[in-house]
């Protein structure tokens, strides 16, 4: 693994962070096993993971991190119960990569691509991981996932400065990135200012323009990840959650996000097309605390979009219909995320795309 200086940054070497809707070679998951994350409901979380694999594996390979034989056996049982054929050659691959938890969007690598001499190349970025500012020790196994994935795939792994979780950013593949001030400028993320954050995004991912939103939603323990607020669905179109009820706990943050997006431009100076998603009714955990339930936490895979749902028929239907209209030709699959959000994340937080 290399740690490039400014003149040898991934972007200066021609690497680009693709948009999520660009073709995938695979989706990576880290199988759930942490009882502190899903207390009393780990079996239900595994069943939700199996539903995600069932929706994904007809369209692309699914690669699953399991630390040992026992966890692989649990995963295989859950997949079999969901009707997924995980036998060799059927598109589901297990990797003996140990993890502390399941949030591969944040502890996994970011994949970048470049075209050189007519050949498309892929590399991995190790963007560092410290459990969202040191909140949940230990995290050493999670922090080792990018280099382990690189070894499994035989691809180069480039270390970039600082700490950057995948859920903290969203991109259009053409140089525009969404993020939040609450997360990237937080004291527990290094206490950097906006200029330094933008320089790091430019060096690592080729960002030419950053659209800064204010913050995240209630119940989010990541200090405001953008993937619960707003997402690109095409190079010029962003969807943002919008609360119909001003009394909803997330209404102020979402009003601010929508206003900033409607005033924003992309890296080429063009206004963004802004569409809205509903918010689900408040979802609360066993202790009554607000959980980070969001339809924006969807995942775009080959020919399919996995959308978290919350047993809220009207809102679920509106969210699925909105995304279906914005994603022509892509199958929309609802994933019941009520158990997943007990762990304080959902579908996007639990997946990471490997570009083709």
Please list the active-site residues: 349
DSSP tally for the chain: helices H, then strands E: 10, 16
Report the length, in residues, of the chain.
Answer: 356
Q: What is the DSSP letter of 138?
A: -
Across the chain, the runs of DSSP E, i.e. the strands, are 24-30, 61-65, 92-95, 110-116, 119-126, 157-159, 170-171, 176-180, 209-213, 230-234, 237-241, 273-277, 299-301, 304-309, 331-336, 352-355
Q: What is the token pair recorded at 39? A: 């207390």
Q: Is 139 helix (H, G, I), strand (E, B) or coil?
A: coil
Residues sharing a CB contact under 8 Å with residue 11, sequence separation 6 or more, in sequence order:
202, 203, 204, 205, 206
Strands of the sheet with 110-116, listed across from one edge? 110-116, 119-126, 157-159
Q: Is the dihedral of CA 142, 147, 151, 157 positive or negative?
A: positive
Element spanning 313, H or E:
helix 313-326
Pairing state of beta strands 304-309 and 331-336?
parallel
Residue among 24, 27, 19 at smallest CA distance from 54: 27
Q: Can you spell out the DSSP letters for 148-170? A: HHHHHHT--EEE-SS---GGG-E
The rounded distance, in Å, linking the Cα atoms of 104 and 32 is: 10
Phi, psi of 221 (to 5 degrees): -85, 5
């Amino acid at each position: 693994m290399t740690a490039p200086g400014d003149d040898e940054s991934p972007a200066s070497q021609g690497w680009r962070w693709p948009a999520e809707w660009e073709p995938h070679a695979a989706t990576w998951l880290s199988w759930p096993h942490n009882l502190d994350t899903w207390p009393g409901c780990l079996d239900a979380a595994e069943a939700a993971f199996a539903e995600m694999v069932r929706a994904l594996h007809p369209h692309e390979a699914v690669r699953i991190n399991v630390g040992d034989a026992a966890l692989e056996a649990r995963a295989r049982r859950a997949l079999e119960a969901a009707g997924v054929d995980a036998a060799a050659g059927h598109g589901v691959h297990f990797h003996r990569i140990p993890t502390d938890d399941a949030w591969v969007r944040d502890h996994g690598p970011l994949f970048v691509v470049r075209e050189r001499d007519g050949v498309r190349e892929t590399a991995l970025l190790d963007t560092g991981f410290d459990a969202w500012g040191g909140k949940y020790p230990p995290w050493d196994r999670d922090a080792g996932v990018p280099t382990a994935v690189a070894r499994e795939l035989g691809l180069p792994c480039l270390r970039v400065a600082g700490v950057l979780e995948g859920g903290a950013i969203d991109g259009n593949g053409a140089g525009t990135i969404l993020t939040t001030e609450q997360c990237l400028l937080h004291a527990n993320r290094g206490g950097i200012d906006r200029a330094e954050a933008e320089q790091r995004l430019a060096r690592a991912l080729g960002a030419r323009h950053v659209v800064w939103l204010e913050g995240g939603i209630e119940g989010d323990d990541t200090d405001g990840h953008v993937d619960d607020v707003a997402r690109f669905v095409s190079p010029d179109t962003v969807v943002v959650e919008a609360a119909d009820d001003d009394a909803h706990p997330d209404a102020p943050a979402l009003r601010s996000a929508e206003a900033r997006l409607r005033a924003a431009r992309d890296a080429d100076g063009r206004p963004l097309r802004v569409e809205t998603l509903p918010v689900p009714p408040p979802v609360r955990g066993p202790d009554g605390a607000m959980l980070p339930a969001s339809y924006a936490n969807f995942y775009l895979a080959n020919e399919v979009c996995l959308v978290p749902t919350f047993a809220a028929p009207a809102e679920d239907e509106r969210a699925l219909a909105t995304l279906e209209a914005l994603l022509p030709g892509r199958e929309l699959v609802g994933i019941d995320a009520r158990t997943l959000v007990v762990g304080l994340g959902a579908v996007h937080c639990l997946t990471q795309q490997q570009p083709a």
